[in-house]
Amino acid sequence: MYGNATWNHTTFNNGSYIPFVYQVHLPGIDRQGRNFLIDLEVDPMKYPSPYGGNTLNGRFTFYDQPNTLSWFETDLELNDKVTWGNITESVVDNTGHIDRQYFPLYASIFSPTGQQVSHMWHQIN
């Protein structure tokens, strides 16, 4: 199952954003060649916390980029479904956190490939 992975803000019916609530769509293929699809609404129950608290205020050097911003969103409410092969299961959980970085330059500008595709990095744990 190929396709584009998306990470979008959830919106109210009038089109305005719901702060810190996301729709995540992650299609892929596992090592055995089976399709998978993760479709989740992700709703952190706590406000974003900056990396390093008041000491760093979320700013540090990462991938040779000073002033990279980093923050966590915790106590996730996860709702929707996961499909693996021909099995689809509902997901309702309250666990984990989002680790986010915003890079001043493209995230991989100093990598060997030098691909320049995004300033943002999101990771759900």
Which whole-number Å values give the CA distances from 4 to 8, 27, 39, 46, in the listed order? 12, 7, 12, 29
Residue 83 CA to residue 109 CA, distance in Å, equals 34
User: Highest mean pLDDT range out of 58-67, 80-89, 94-103?
Assistant: 80-89
pLDDT of residue 34: 93
Winning range, highest mean pLDDT, from 11-15, 97-101, 114-118: 11-15
On whether the CB atoms of residues 52 and 60 are closer than 8 A, the answer is yes
Check pLDDT > 80 for residue 2.
no
Q: What is the pTM for the complete model shown?
A: 0.77
Which pLDDT does position 64 carry in this prediction?
84
